[in-house]
Structure 1
Amino acid sequence: MSLGHMGSGGEYHLLNGWKDIAAFFGKDERTVKRWEKQRGMPVQRMPGTKGTVFADRHALAAWLNMRGTQPGLDVRVLPRVHSGLNGARSPGDAHEPSTAARELYLEGTYLWQKRTRASLTEAVDILQAAVALDPDYAHAHTALAVAHKLAGEYGATTQKLGYIRALEAVERAIALDPALEQAQTVLANIEFFWLLQYDRALRRFEHARRLNPNSALTRHWFAEALLFAGYPREALAEIDQAQHLDPQSRSIISAKAYILFALGNSDTSEQMLLKLASNEPDYQMAYKGLTYLYLARGDGGRYLEFLDRLVSLHPSGAARAIVDAGRKGLSSSGKAGMAEAMLDAAKHNGETGEVPAYGMAHLYALNNDASGAATHLQLALERYEGDVFDFIIDPAFKQVRTTPQFLKKVTQMGLPLVA
C-alpha cells in the first residue's frame, strides 16, 4: 500500500475516442467497437462519463499481436510486438557493442538494481544514452525496458508511462535478439501485470527460464507472477533459485518474504523484513511488507509504525494526516477506531488524487466496506497503479475479498481470483 503521491507524469501515446482508434487500425468505428465487445480489444472509459473512450497505442498493438492478425488489417501502421517465442539466435549473430555503450549499459544496470526513485531516473537517462550510441545493442534496450518498468513501480514516473516506455524498449530488444531471456522476461511481466494476459505471460516466463535457467531476474519476476496467479508454493521454488543466483538482491529478499507471508510463515517473513529494513532503510518494499504482516496479526501499533516509516520515505501531507489520525483512533477506540479515523482523514484528500486509489481501497477494505474497496480498486486499475495486485495478499481485504459483490467486481475488472 502507498499513501503518498503517485509520482511525476509524462506524455502518453493515447488515442482519444472511437474515431482515433478506428483510424489507428485503418478500419471504421463499427468494426473497432465490435472488436472491443467480441474480442477483448483493450479500451478504457473516462470515470463518470458515458461513451468517452481512450486507448494506449502500444496496448492495442500488443493486443493485436497476441490475438493474431485480423483479416484485412493493414498491420504496417502498427509497431509489432515481436514475441520471439520460437526465435533462435545464431552463434554468429552475436552483437559486439561499442566500448562506450557497454560501459553505459553496465552503469545503468547497476543503478536500476538499486531500485530507488533517484537511481531509476538516472538509470533511464544513462541507458537511453547507451542505445543512442549503439542502436543494435539488445542488452541495453532490455536494461532500458527494465529501468522504465521499475521507474513506474517505484514512483519515479507513473506506472502507466513506465509500462508504455518499457514496451517500446523491449519491442526493440526482442526484434534484435528473440532469444534474449531478460527481454522475454520483461515482456512477460508487461503481459501479466499490465495487459492482464495471465496464461500467455506464464508461458513466456517458462520460455525465458528455458532460454537461461540461471537468470535471477527471470526467476524473480516469474515468482512474483506465480504468487499473484495463486501458486505461492511454485513461487517459493522460483524465488529460492533467484536468491541462490543473486543473494545480494534486496528485491529478491523482499519478494521471498512476501511469498513466505502468503504461505503463512509469518515468523520467517518478519525476520527477513526487519533485517532488510535495518540494513536498507531507504527501501520501501520492506516497510510495506511489515505493514501487511502486523496488520494480519492485529497489531495496530506496529502496523502504524511501519506505515509511518513507509510514508516518510516520500513525505506527503495527506499521508501524514492519515497516520496521525490512525494513532489517535487506535488510542481512543482500538483497531476499529483506527480504521475509521484513517478513512475519514483520507476522504478529505482522496478526491484530489493525493492519496492513490489503492490506498483508498485499502482503507475501505480495512473498514469492511466491500463496495468502497471494489470501487477504488477499479480506479487504481484504471490509473495503472502498481499496488493493484496487492489485494490478493493485503490482509485489509481479508473480509471483503470473499463477498459476492467484491468478487463480481474483480471478475469484471479482469483481475485474478485467488482464494
Structure 2
Amino acid sequence: MACASRPSSSKPPPTATCGRSATSATWPTCSASRARWRRRSRARSRSSSRSRSAHEDYLKGRHLWNQRTSEALEGALELFRRAIARDPTYAPAFSGLADCHNLLADQNEHLPVVAFPLAREAAVRALELDPHLAEAHTSLGFVKVEGDWDWTGGEREYLQAIELDQGYATAHQWYAILLVALGRTQEGIEHALEAVRCDPLSFILDSTAGDAFYYARRYDEALEAYRRGIELAPEFGQLRMDLARTLELSGRLDEAIEQYRRAITMMRGDPARSPGLACAHAAAGRDDEARAILEAMRVHARASYVPPYAFASVHARLGEIDAAFEALERAFRERDRAMVYVRVNPRFDPLRADRRFDDLVRRMRLDGPSSRR
C-alpha cells in the first residue's frame, strides 16, 4: 500500500498505538514496535548515534511512521528533524526523514514535485554518512521508482538493501510493489509474503500482500490478506477500501458497495475517496449513480487535488474509453504516482485492445527488459 491513496483521515490503528492516541506519550507502552526498531539499531553499529536523545527521537519517529496516517507521518517528520538537529551525522534519521517525504507524496498529502526532491536529498545524505545502511538504499529506491519512474535504478537500490539486511521488511515490501507494477507478479508476491514473515504484526505488510494478489488477479488470496490486516487495524479505512475494490473485481458488487460506503465513512466522507464506489456502481450497471460521484469528484477537484488516475478508473468502468485515455494522459503528464500500476490494473482491461494503451505503457518504459524477467 505503499500504495496508493491517502489514509489521512483514518484513525491511527489500535495495534499501532497500543490502544492509545498517536502521540509521543504512547511510546513507552508500545514495546513490540520499539523493540523491533531497537534490534535493528543494534545491528548497525556504524550508524549508531552519539546522542541518546537523537536515537530515542528516531525510534519514536519510526513508530509513528509505521502508523501511516497523515497525522502520524507529520509527527514522525518532526521527530526525525529533531534527531538530526541533535546529531547531524546520524544516518538512520536521514533515512527516516526521506521515508516520511516518500509516503506523504505517495498518499497525496504533499505535492510529489516538492516531496520527492526532499526525500532524495535526505536519502542521499544518509548514504553519504553510511553507504551500508539498508534503510537508506530502500528510501532512495522508493524515490527512483515512485518519483523518477526509474525501474532499473529502483530495483538496484532495493536489491542492495536486501543484500545488506534480508530482514528489513520495508525493502521486501517496496520491492514487491515494483515487481508487481512491472508485471513480475509471482516475484512480487514472494517478496510481499517475505515482508510479512519479517514483521507479522504489521497491517501495512498484509495490505501490500493483498495488493500483490489483487494485481495478479488472485482475488480470494487478496481478500484473505486484507482481512488479516483489518483484524490488526480495524479502524484503518484504506484496508477496507482495498477489500471493497477486490470484492468489486470479484463481481461481488453489493458487498463491494457496502464496504466502500463503510470505508468512506471511516475516512470522513472525503469525496476524493469515492472513485472506487463509482467504479462499483458502474460495474453494477448503475451508471447514473457512478456519474453523480464523478461530478462530485470534479467539483472537489476545483478546490483540492484529485488524481487524474482516479478519473481514468471511473471512465474505464463506465466504458468511456476516450475520456479514460484523456485522464490517463493527464496523469502521465502530471506524473500521478498511481500510474506505476497502469500496466496491471484490472480496471483498465477495457482499454487494453486500444493501441493507445500499448503506447502509454511503452512511454512509461513498463514494457522494457526489467518487466520481462
Q: Under TM normalisation by the shorter chain, which class is it?
A: 0.7 to 0.9
Bigger shift: 348-357 or 165-174? 348-357
Distance 1:127 1:345, change over 3 A: closer
User: Can you list the C-alpha shifts for 1:299-330, whole angstroms capped at 9, x where unaligned?
Assistant: 33233223323333444564588788889x67
Contact in 2 for aligned 1:182/1:208 (Cα 8 Å): yes
After superposition, the CA RMSD in angstroms is 3.2
Alignment partner, residue 363 of structure 1: 314
Separation of aligned partners in 2, 1:124 and 1:136: 17
Distance 1:197 1:321, change over 3 A: closer
User: Can you list the C-alpha shifts for 1:271-299, whole angstroms capped at 9, x where unaligned?
Assistant: 22134235423324312322321221233
Give yes or no for the alignment of 1:401 onto 2:352: yes
Separation of aligned partners in 1, 2:94 and 2:337: 22
Alignment partner, residue 72 of structure 2: 119
Contact in 1 for aligned 2:277/2:290 (Cα 8 Å): no
Alignment partner, residue 238 of structure 2: 285
Contact in 2 for aligned 1:2/1:359 (Cα 8 Å): no
Alignment partner, residue 117 of structure 2: 164
Give yes or no for the alignment of 1:141 onto 2:77: no
Q: What is the Cα deviation at residue 375 of structure 1?
A: 2.2
Correspondent of 2:169 among 196, 199, 216: 216
Contact in 2 for aligned 1:277/1:286 (Cα 8 Å): yes
**Runs of 5+ in structure 1 lacking a partner?**
8-90
Name the TM-score, length of structure 2 as normaliser.
0.78
1:189-338 matched pairs, under 5 angstroms: 189-315=142-268, 318-319=271-272, 334-338=285-289
Aligned residues: 334
**Partner amino acid, structure 2, of 1:167:** R
Contact in 2 for aligned 1:3/1:359 (Cα 8 Å): no
Name the TM-score, length of structure 1 as normaliser.
0.70
Separation of aligned partners in 1, 2:53 and 2:173: 29
**Partner amino acid, structure 2, of 1:365:** A
User: Can you list the C-alpha shifts for 1:71-98, whole angstroms capped at 9, x where unaligned?
Assistant: xxxxxxxxxxxxxxxxxxxx99554330
Give yes or no for the alignment of 1:380 onto 2:334: no
**Partner amino acid, structure 2, of 1:361:** A
Bigger shift: 220-229 or 338-347? 338-347
Alignment partner, residue 183 of structure 1: 136
Separation of aligned partners in 2, 1:128 and 1:266: 41
Q: What is the Cα deviation at residue 152 of structure 1?
A: 2.1
**Partner amino acid, structure 2, of 1:229:** L
Which is higher, the Rg of structure 1 or of structure 2?
1
Contact in 1 for aligned 2:8/2:70 (Cα 8 Å): no
Bigger shift: 248-257 or 335-344? 335-344
Q: What is the Cα deviation at residue 104 of structure 1?
A: 0.2
Percent identity over the alignment is 23
Give yes or no for the alignment of 1:106 onto 2:59: yes
Separation of aligned partners in 2, 1:245 and 1:394: 27
Bigger shift: 409-418 or 246-255? 409-418
Q: What is the Cα deviation at residue 119 of structure 1?
A: 0.5
User: Can you list the C-alpha shifts for 1:314-368, whole angstroms capped at 9, x where unaligned?
Assistant: 44564588788889x679x834555444435544555555533122111111112
Contact in 2 for aligned 1:214/1:245 (Cα 8 Å): yes
Contact in 1 for aligned 2:147/2:337 (Cα 8 Å): no
Distance 1:311 1:268, change over 3 A: same
Q: What is the Cα deviation at residue 141 of structure 1?
A: 0.6
Contact in 2 for aligned 1:145/1:170 (Cα 8 Å): yes
**Runs of 5+ in structure 2 lacking a partner?**
10-43
